[in-house]
Amino acid sequence: MNRRKFLKRSALLSGLLALNPIDTFANTDAKSISGTKGKAKNIIFMISDGMSSGTLAMANLYSKNVLGRSTNWMNLYTENKVSRALMDTASASSIVTDSSAASSAFGGGIRVKNGTLNIGANGEKHLPIWQEWKKKGKKTGCVTSVTITHATPAGFCINSSSRNAEPEIAEMYAEIGFDVMMGGGDEFFNPLKREDKKDVYETYRQKNYQIAKNKSDLQNIKKNKPLLGIFNTGALPYSIDKVNDKSFQNTPTLAEMSKTAIDQMKDHDKGFLLQIEGGKVDWAAHANDIPALIHDQLAFDEAVKVAMDFAEKDGNTLVIITTDHGNANPGIIYDADATKKFESISNYKFSNEYLLNSLHSDFNLQQIKDLVFEMNQFSLTDKEALELLSFYNGLEKEDGLYNYKKLPYKLFSEIQKKHNSVGWMSMDHSSDYVELAMYGPGSEQLKPFVKNTDVHQIMQNALGK
């Protein structure tokens, strides 16, 4: 080889290796993002947490084949209403991010280590965008289907060295004074459930917040007062379970919470910033729970419609629709009857979580088979029923991020795969390049491939910073 060419190639390779490997293939920076032609008064930032591209595709296929219509998100593509990109989701510590680092990339504009919220490598605090613009006079809020103190809403709002500091995060929100906060997490506000017995609800009441505990409460709120809506201990129920279990029917949907939040803030003369998170999409992916995944993605899609209906009428709102990372990479696997098998998911009455919590160690094999048939409309073999029962007799236990009851999620998803043709790569986050769509003033800044931190700068440009 020519020595000069060899040295030139060696220098190029050395330069590439000197770069942070997490950033090698996502080398945009704030300077490369041009200023916006349009200025946004409002921003609605929508995150379907843990949504791999397969989740988006399956929800749309289910909606088309079973419900007879495409999803609102996919209609934005087919009608050419949005700018669209792929996004690199890495954190400062890994090419596979967690939700706290991913949200901090959006909220604080920097990549931080997994597990932290807007705290840099040397302990420095980066001001989250919702807090920054709250101080400048805009109204700010978050709604989610998980705990309102969870990583994704927190990443837009506060600084913390630990995403798990949810009791403290509940107090931070009150101190900062966000205008609308809705989701689950009663255990972080209720003195009967907090370890320190502190009544955080009372803290909010003293700051003139109105407290909503169910869907009926939302019909009686006043627009001139800030709102805290806490609708469950832990996360809200899965959407499919809310539909089919009457005990959940006074729990608001993500779309209902989103509409309430917009209505509460839309008349403010300085505008508003709202984050909407379909947080249980991520939890369903962790559990390989296909009925929960599809129906919570569709619930998120209904919230997309709420946001877009407002933005198209308003004309001054930037809508951002994306995810923070992939999870489990589900997809439909080839089979001669793949279409029919996939559509059989319409027979599932409840989430896998609900079904598996309904099984007990004292069930006999026939009782297990009867319950699965009632809820999923397919028949287990005796061997499959016995394998499921072994988990409840303590012979086997299955781990998982949100699997505190050690339910046999993986085993049951493998059984279901024979009947619905849905396969899963894992039960955890992945490093996918993910979907990102933008509508409204500021969306013209979006390039075909960006880093998650670039979205922060696009928002700042659109707001006129």
456 annotated as belonging to a binding site for a ligand: no
DSSP codes joined into one string, 67-109: ISS--HHHHHHHTT-SEEEEEE---SS-SS--HHHHHHHHHTS
289 annotated as belonging to a binding site for a ligand: no
429 annotated as belonging to a binding site for a ligand: yes
Dig out the tokens for 129 from the structure. 């965008």
* 351 annotated active-site: no
Instruction: Compute CA 85 distance to the chain's CA centroid, rounded to the nearest angstrom.
Output: 18
User: pTM higher than 0.75, yes or no?
Assistant: yes
Residue with tokens 């255990």, as numbered in its chain: 187
C-alpha to C-alpha distance for 190 and 213, rounded to whole angstroms: 12
The predicted pLDDT at position 394 comes to: 82
Dig out the tokens for 163 from the structure. 């995403």
- Position 322, amino acid: T
Contacts of 444 (CB under 8 A, 6+ apart): 36, 37, 38, 83
Where the chain has pLDDT below 50, the residues are: 1-21, 24-28, 30-31, 34-36
Contacts of 285 (CB under 8 A, 6+ apart): 50, 51, 52, 55, 293, 327, 328, 330, 427
The predicted pLDDT at position 395 comes to: 74
The predicted pLDDT at position 13 comes to: 39
For 30-330+428-463, which CATH class? alpha beta
Is residue 182 within 8 A of residue 227, CB to CB? The reply is: yes
Domain boundaries of the chain, sorted by first residue: 30-330+428-463, 332-423
286 annotated as belonging to a binding site for a ligand: yes
453 annotated as belonging to a binding site for a ligand: no
Catalytic residue (choose from 52, 63, 83, 99): 99
The predicted pLDDT at position 17 comes to: 37
What burial class does residue 192 get, using C-beta atoms within 10 Å of its C-beta: 0-12 exposed, 13-18 middle, 19+ buried? exposed
The predicted pLDDT at position 9 comes to: 43
Beta strands 272-277 and 139-147, pairing class: parallel
Is residue 465 within 8 A of residue 345, CB to CB? The reply is: no
- Position 268, amino acid: H
C-alpha to C-alpha distance for 148 and 188, rounded to whole angstroms: 10
370 annotated as belonging to a binding site for a ligand: no
C-alpha to C-alpha distance for 89 and 109, rounded to whole angstroms: 13
Is residue 279 within 8 A of residue 4, CB to CB? The reply is: no
